[in-house]
Structure 1
Amino acid sequence: MPNLRRSAAGTAVLLAVLLPATGAATAGVNAETGAVAAERPWLDGTRSVAERVDLLLGEMTTDEKLNMVRGHGLALMPRGRVKAVPRLGIPELRMHDGPHGVSDVEGVTAFPAPITLAATWDPALARRFGAALGAEARGKGVNVHLAPAVDILRVPQSGRVWESFGEDPHLTSALAAQEVRGIRSRHVIPTVKHYVGNNQETDRMLVDARIDERTLREIYYPPFEAAVEAGAGAVMCAYNRVNGAYACENRRTLTEDLKESMGFTGWVMSDWLATRSGQKAARAGLDQAMPDDPLFSANLRLGLAAGTFPRARLDDMARRVLTPMIADGLFETRYGSPGREVRTAAHTALAREIAVSGTTLLKNRDGLLPLPKNTGSIAVIGTAAHDDVRITSAGSGRVLPPYVVTPYEGVEDRSGGAVTYTPGDGDGAAGLRAAADAAREADVAVVVVGLVTEEGKDRKDLRLPGNMDELVETVAAANPDTVVVLTSPAQVLMPWAGKVKAVVSSFLGGQELGNALAAVLFGDADPGGRLPMTVARRASDYPAGTRRQFPGVGLRQVYSEGLRVGYRHFDATGTEPLFPFGHGLSYTAFSYRGLSVSGSTVRVTVRNTGSRPGVAVPQLYLQFPGGAGEPPRQLRGFAKVRLAPGEAATVTFRLPERAFQIWRGGRWTTVPGRYTVHVGASSRDLPLRGTIRR
C-alpha cells in the first residue's frame, strides 16, 4: 500500500487553513506560529507519514499504545470508539457503518445498495459514490467508515449479499478499489470487510469455511488485495473460522497472506465481538478488538509484564493504527457531529444516477419498453410498489431514508396518462382478483415484487415471498402487456419469466428508486445495468444451491465448488442460465467488430446501430490454456460506454500480467500456452475471439 507511505507535505497546513482546528482531535497545527508542530513534531505535515509515526511512537507510553488496540464503548452513533490521547494530539477514532449510507441515523442520503452499484459496472461512479459516502460520514463525525464489504456472492441465499458487489472477483475488485479511493478523498479511513470466507449468515459465529488456498487466492482474496492497493486503512476480520482457525486469530490469513503477501500496512480490527482470545489473536495478526474489550488489552498487559507477549508486537499494532490515521489526514481534519444534516442536492442526484445506471433490463419481448408517450393507462400492482417498498435490508448496514419515492409515485409523476395502484398480494384470493381486474382495465400492467434479506439470517429458499409468484401469473394472464419489476438483493426463481413481456431488476434502489425506475420505463434514460450475478432456472443449478449443500452440516462449510463460483460453474457444467452474468438489454442495438490483439492489449470497436442513444458494457473474458486447470472463461476487463445513434467507440483493454496467472505452488504463475480472448455483451454473448500467447 505505497500511498500510506507517501509524504503528506503541505497537506496538513492547507487543511488547517480550510478547516480550522478545534479540540484535541485537531490541535496539531497552528498555521500562524507553528508552535504546536515544533513542540509535537509528529504533527508536522511537512514530514513523511513514516517519520511522523516513528516520532509519535517514541513518545507513547505502554498504556497509550494499549489504548489504540481496543474500542471503548458501543453507542448508536458512532458504533465504535477508540479514545483520543490529548497529551499527544491523537484524535478519537469514531467508527460507523454502513455500505450504502451512514446507517441508522437521520439526516443522511439513502443511496442504492452496493449490489445496485455493482450492476452499474461503472468504477468511476463507484468512486463518486465513495466520495459522497465519505463526505456524509465525515459530516456526522465519523473518521473510520466500515465499508466497503467485498464478500463474494457464493450462494444467493446469503443474507448479506446486498452489501457487496456480486459473484465475480474482478468486478468486485474494480468497484471496491474506486469506492475506497472515494472515501479516502474525504479524509475518512475505509474499512474493507469481512475477511474472509464470510459467505453465509447461518452459524456465522461458528461455521468453519473450508477453502483451499488456490480458491482463496483467485476468488476470495482479490477484492481485499485491490482495496489494500487502493489504500484501505483497515480490514475487518470476520466471525467465522477459516480452515479451522477463527478469522480473527488466524495467522495464515491475517499475517502471512494479508500483511506479508498482500503488503497491508494498516490495521486489522475485529468484527463486533468477534475477538475470542487475547495474546493468541494479537500474535496471529489482530491489531484492534472492537467494540469494547478491556480483557483484550488487559491480557496483552499481563503478557508484557510476564515477558510472554513481545513489546515489538504491541508497537506494530499501534503503528498500524496510527499510519492510516496520519496518511488520511485525521490529525488535521475537522469533522462534524452526529446530529448534523449532511444531505445535499448533489448527493440526491447521485443516488438517482446510481439507481438509473444499475437498473437492468432482463427481458423486453416485442419492444414493450420503453413505454410510449401515448400509453393511456397503467396499472401499478404489488405492495412492493408502494406500501412495502424495498430499498434497503436489515442489519448493521440499514440506512434510514429521509424519504422514499415509491415505484407507484415515480410512474404516476412521470406518466401522462391514468395510473392506478392495487396492492394485489398479501390479501389472498380477493387481492389477486383485484389485481386481475386492475390489469385487465389498463393498457400496461407493471407488477413490482421483491424481498429484503438481513444480517444474521439466510433465506430458506429462492422463491419470492408470499403469493408474489401467483400475483405475477395472475396479472400476466389478465394483460399480455405486463412488466415485472424486481426489487431484490439477489437472485430469485422466476417461474413466470416466459409468461411476461418485460422483466426489469432494480435490486435495492435507494430513496430515488421510483424516479429512477420511471426514467427507465419511459425511456428518459437507457437501462444502464448489467447483472453482477448469474440467474438460474432452478435452485439446484447453482453450484451450492441446494439445502443439502448449504448451509454447511456440522458447522463445516466445504467450498467444494472451488474456482467454479457463479458463471464459472454454469460454463464448466454446460448449464444454461435463465439470465447470464453480465447480461442486460438496451433500448438500442450494438455491434462488436474489429477485435485486435497486440501483446497484452486488446482493442474492439463498439457501434450503436440503433436509433436511440444507449449504454454498452463490452466485457472481456479470458480462456486459459488447458493445463491451467481454470474454469472455461473468466472476466478480465470491462468498460461502460455511452453512444449516440450511429456513433462508434474503440475500447481498449490492457491486461496486466496478473490477468494470466494462477496460484500454483505457493506463488502466482503464468502458464505458458495460448490464451483465448472473448469479447462481447455478457458471459454468454461473446461474438469476438482472439489469441494471446504466453
Structure 2
Amino acid sequence: MVSVKQLGLAAAILSICGLGHAERNITSDTYFYGQSEPVYPSPSGKGTGDWAEAYEKAAAMVAKMTLEEKNNLTYGVATTENGCSGILPSIPRLGFTGMCLQDAGNGVRNTDFVNSYPSGIHVGASWNKSLAHDRGWYMGGEFRKKGVQVALGPVVGPLGRTVTGISNDPYLDGALGAATVQGVQGQGVITSVKHFIANEQELYRNPTINSRNESVESISSNIDDKTMHELYLWPFQDALKAGSGNVMCSYNRVNNSHACQNSKTLNGLLKTELGFNGFVVTDWDAQHSGVAAAQAGLDMAMPDGQSFWGDNFTDAIANGSVPESRLTDMATRIIAAWYKMGQDESSYPAPGVGMPYNVSEPHTIVNSLTRDAKPTLYDGAVEGHVLVKNTKNALPLKSPKLISVFGYDAKAPDEYMPDGKSLLYNPWGIGYSPAIFQMGDLFSMTVINEPYYFQVAFNGTLSVGGGSGANSGPYLSAPLDALQQRAYEDNTVVMWDTTNNPSFMGLMEASDACLVFINAFATEGLDRAGAYDDYSDELVNKVAKTCSNTIVVIHNAGTRLVDQFAENPNVTAIVFAHLPGQDSGRALVSLLYGDENFSGKLPYTVAKSQSDYYSFFHTGAVTPYGLFPQSDFTEGVYTDYRYFDLHDITPRYEFGFGLSYTTFCFSDLHVSPVKHGISAYPTGAIEQGGAVDLWDTVATVTATLRNTGDKAGAEVAQVYVGIPGRPVKQLRGFDKVQIPAGGSAEVSFPLTRRDLSSWDVVAQKWQLQNGEYKIYVGSSSRELPLMDTLTIVTSS
C-alpha cells in the first residue's frame, strides 16, 4: 500500500487544467507523474494475431446494425429476469444473444450449485501455474453452464491489496493471472482482467459528498512512467498476452484523471502500446462522463450507463461530439470478443439461464458441480497453505491422544453472533446479510469502533474474502469439523473452546497439541486497519502461556504480522492458511497430519514490525480542502522485497519463503550466453500483449534441484535477476517441482527480452541494458544459494 500525500493548490489546479505533452519534460523519470497525458483519438481495434477471424465476423455484424443497436451494446440494463451483475441486451434479428457479466474471481457468485474455489491470494501462495490454469478451467465451465459470458476476474491489480488479487509481485501476479485467463477462456468464457489500473486502496475509492455537501473526488494514484510499466502494468500485459477479451477499468483516478476516462491509460497504454483487441468495461458505476469517457477509450458502462450514454450518446454522435467511427469500434470490440470465444455457437447457454434473480424462489437448477473439479479444489486448497515455523517436531501431528482447539476461526460460521459485533454471514458468501439478500446487493456488515473489528471475522472460519471476492460452494469444510472427523478415524479426543476466552488451563496442560485459529479479514470497500490485531495476538499468547505445543493457524486475506508471538518458545508452529475455499478444513488437516506435504510459499513479505513497511497502511488522509485526495507512489518500484533489499531490512519471513516436511538443495547452475549485438529495443509488430519480440527468449537458466529428505515433496525453484541500475533482484521465473525422497530434477527457465529489460522513458520502449546481469536461483528471495552473471552487449 502507498501513503496518501498532500498536493498543493497550484498542482491541483494544473492537474485539472491539464498541460499538454509538449509542455512536459519527457527526459524526467517523473514524466506523467500526477498529471495524465492526453492521448487521442481512441485507436480502432485491429484484430491482430488470432483475433483476425473474430474481427471479420464482428465487422460484418456491426455493419448491419442501426445506430441505436450499436449504442445499446455500450451500456448495461436493469432486469429482474436473472441475477447477473450486469446485463447487455440481445439483438435477436442479428443473432446476438446478449451478455451476462458476473463475479467472482474464485467462482460464480450470488447463485447456487457452484463451487467455492481458493481465492486469488491462495493461488498466489501456491506458486503453481498448472494448478492456476486448472482452477480457471473448472471455474470457467461453471460460469458457462450458468449462462455467464463475462467472468469478472481474475484480479491482477491491485498489487498491494491482495484480498482477491494474487500477489504484490508483478511477475508472480502476471504469470498466475495469465494461466487463469487461459483456463477460463478455454471454456469459451471471456475474462475481465481487473482493475485497470493502480487501484491500490479502498479509502476514497469513489467520489463522495462530504458533510458540507461538497463533492470529494476519488483518490488519485500518482505514478511515474517507469513505475507504471515495470510494476503496475506488468501483470496486465501478461493477461493480454494470454488472450483476455476484456479489461475492467477501476474506480480511482490515475494521475488526476478518472481511470475509466483516462486517455493515457486506455488509449495510450492499453489499446496502442499493448495492442488490446477486446473491450473495456467500467467497474460498477465507475463512469463519470459521456463524451469524454468514449473518446478516452471506454467501450462499455456497467451496470447502467443510460445517464451518460443512452439517448445522450446518440445525440452526441448526431451533433459530431463523438464520431460514429468511435461507436462502431466500441461495438466491434464487444462483438469480436463474443465471436472469439465461440459464444455465437448454439451450444453456449443463454445469458443468465442458471442465474435466477432470487435463488430462494423456485427455479431451474443448472447443475454445475462435477466430480472432475474435486481434485483441483482440494489440491488448490492444500497448496496455498504456507508453513513458516515448525520447531520441536510439532508437525506433522503423530497420533495425538488429546488435541485442544481454540479461536473464533476454527468453527463453521454462524449466521449471527450474540454480541452483534461480527460480520454477518450467509451461505452466499461472507459479507452478505441473509436478512436482506437479493441478487446484486452490496455486502452488508456490522461496523464497530474497535480497530480490530475492521479486520477480524469473529463469526467463524474465513474461507473467502468479502464483497465481490465472495462466493459460496455446496458445503464448507471448517477446521474444527475436519479435526473431529480425523479424531474419529484415529481415536483421538478433541476438545474445543471457540468463545475466544480460553480458561481451561488443565485442558491446555494435558493436550498433546493446542491449535489456535485466528484470521485477518478483508473486503471490498474497507482498508484493513493494520497488519495485526492485539485481540487475536493476546488469544494466542494466552493459550501458549500454558500449552507448550501451541500451533497457530491464520486464515489471512493479506500480509499478517506475527511478531507478538512468533518468538514465543511455546508457539511451535505457524501456518498462513490464506483463503482456501470450500475444502479449507479438509486440506488443512491433511497437512497437519502429514498426509500431504506443505509446498506453499509466501506471495508477500512478512515484516518483523509494521514500521518496516514503507507507508503500508493509511493512518488517515488529509487532502487539499478535502476535495482532491492524492496518493503519491513515491516509493516507485521499491515495494515489498525490493524495498527490504534496498534498505537492508531483515524480514521475519521473506517473499517466496515456505517450509516443508522435507529438505531440498540446489546445484549445477548454468546460464546460456547471449549473442553480442542484440538490439537494445524491440522491433517487432504490435499484437495483443505488445511488441511480439518482447517475448523472445534471450537467455536460459538451468539448475538441478534435489530432495535431500526422507519424504516426497514439492519445491518452488525461483529465479531472480539483477538488472543493471535497477533493484538488487527481481523475480523473473519460477517452477514448482514434485520430487520423491532422494530424487532430483532439472529446472529450466527461459528469460525473455521483457524479463531482462527496463523501461526507457525517453524512447518509450523496453530497453536491454549493456553490462552484467546477476542471476540468482534458490527457494526464496533471501535464500538464493546459486549465483552467476549474464553479460549483454547490445547493438545500440
Query: Does residue 450 of structure 1 match 2:519?
Result: yes
More helix by share: 1
Cα gap change, 1:393/1:552 in structure 2, threshold over 3 Å: closer, same or farther?
farther
Range moving further from structure 2, 187-196 or 341-350: 341-350
Q: What does residue 145 of structure 2 align with?
A: 139
Aligned equivalents of 2:296, 2:94: Cα separation in 1: 29
Cα gap change, 1:5/1:546 in structure 2, threshold over 3 Å: closer, same or farther?
closer
Aligned equivalents of 1:359, 1:667: Cα separation in 2: 39
Q: What does residue 22 of structure 1 align with?
A: none
Structure 1 SS opposite 2:502? helix
Structure 2 SS opposite 1:153? coil
Shift of 1:153: 3.3
The structure 1 residue matched to 2:705, chosen from 606, 614, 618, is 606
Shift of 1:4: 6.5
Structure 2 SS opposite 1:71? coil
What is the aligned length? 641
**Quick one: which amino acid aligns to residue 512 of structure 1?**
D
Which protein has greater RCO, CA pairs closer than 8 Å, 6+ apart? Answer: 2
Query: Does residue 594 of structure 1 match 2:595?
Result: no
Aligned equivalents of 1:135, 1:128: Cα separation in 2: 11
> Is the 2:45–2:276 contact (alpha carbons within 8 Å) kept by the matching residues of 1?
no
Aligned equivalents of 2:537, 2:46: Cα separation in 1: 51
Structure 2 SS opposite 1:64? helix
Give matches, 1:679-690, under 5 Å.
679-690=777-788
**Quick one: which amino acid aligns to residue 474 of structure 2?**
P
> Is the 1:234–1:267 contact (alpha carbons within 8 Å) kept by the matching residues of 2?
yes
Shift of 1:534: 0.5
Deviations 1:278-334 (A, max 9, x none): 010000000011111113132321111112211111111111111111010111042
The structure 2 residue matched to 1:386, chosen from 411, 419, 422, is 411
Structure 2 SS opposite 1:125? helix
**Quick one: which amino acid aligns to residue 704 of structure 2?**
T
Deviations 1:613-640 (A, max 9, x none): 0111010001122xx2x22110000000
Structure 2 SS opposite 1:497? coil
Q: What does residue 585 of structure 1 align with?
A: 659
Query: Does residue 242 of structure 1 match 2:254?
Result: yes
Query: Does residue 534 of structure 1 match 2:605?
Result: yes
Q: What does residue 440 of structure 1 align with?
A: 509
Cα gap change, 1:663/1:549 in structure 2, threshold over 3 Å: closer, same or farther?
farther
- Normalised to the residue count of structure 1, the TM-score between the two structures is 0.90
Cα gap change, 1:548/1:406 in structure 2, threshold over 3 Å: closer, same or farther?
closer
Deviations 1:426-474 (A, max 9, x none): 4xxxx2313x443222111111111321111111122237x22111111
Q: What does residue 404 of structure 1 align with?
A: 476
Give matches, 1:143-542, under 5 Å.
143-154=149-160, 158=161, 161-205=162-206, 206-295=218-307, 296-332=309-345, 333-335=347-349, 336-338=353-355, 339-372=365-398, 374-387=399-412, 388-415=460-487, 416-426=490-500, 431-434=501-504, 436-464=505-533, 467-494=535-562, 495-499=564-568, 500-542=571-613
> Is the 1:425–1:471 contact (alpha carbons within 8 Å) kept by the matching residues of 2?
no
Shift of 1:549: 8.0
> Is the 2:262–2:296 contact (alpha carbons within 8 Å) kept by the matching residues of 1?
yes
Shift of 1:417: 3.8
Cα gap change, 1:547/1:5 in structure 2, threshold over 3 Å: closer, same or farther?
closer
Range moving further from structure 2, 597-606 or 341-350: 341-350
Aligned equivalents of 2:759, 2:370: Cα separation in 1: 46
Aligned equivalents of 2:670, 2:79: Cα separation in 1: 57
Deviations 1:72-97 (A, max 9, x none): 11667211011010000011100100
Q: What does residue 663 of structure 1 align with?
A: 759
Shift of 1:425: 4.9
Shift of 1:58: 1.6
Aligned equivalents of 1:671, 1:531: Cα separation in 2: 30
Structure 2 SS opposite 1:90? coil
> Is the 1:112–1:509 contact (alpha carbons within 8 Å) kept by the matching residues of 2?
yes
Gaps of 5+ in 1: 9-46
Cα gap change, 1:551/1:522 in structure 2, threshold over 3 Å: closer, same or farther?
farther
Q: What does residue 574 of structure 1 align with?
A: 648
- Normalised to the residue count of structure 2, the TM-score between the two structures is 0.78
Shift of 1:5: 5.1
Cα gap change, 1:546/1:54 in structure 2, threshold over 3 Å: closer, same or farther?
closer
Aligned equivalents of 1:652, 1:234: Cα separation in 2: 32
Shift of 1:424: 4.5
Gaps of 5+ in 2: 1-43, 207-217, 356-364, 413-459, 674-698
Aligned equivalents of 2:157, 2:232: Cα separation in 1: 7
Q: What does residue 565 of structure 1 align with?
A: 639
Range moving further from structure 2, 102-111 or 549-558: 549-558
The structure 1 residue matched to 2:731, chosen from 635, 645, 659, is 635
The structure 1 residue matched to 2:131, chosen from 125, 129, 134, is 125
> Is the 2:260–2:282 contact (alpha carbons within 8 Å) kept by the matching residues of 1?
yes
Structure 1 SS opposite 2:754? helix
Structure 2 SS opposite 1:409? helix
Structure 2 SS opposite 1:478? coil
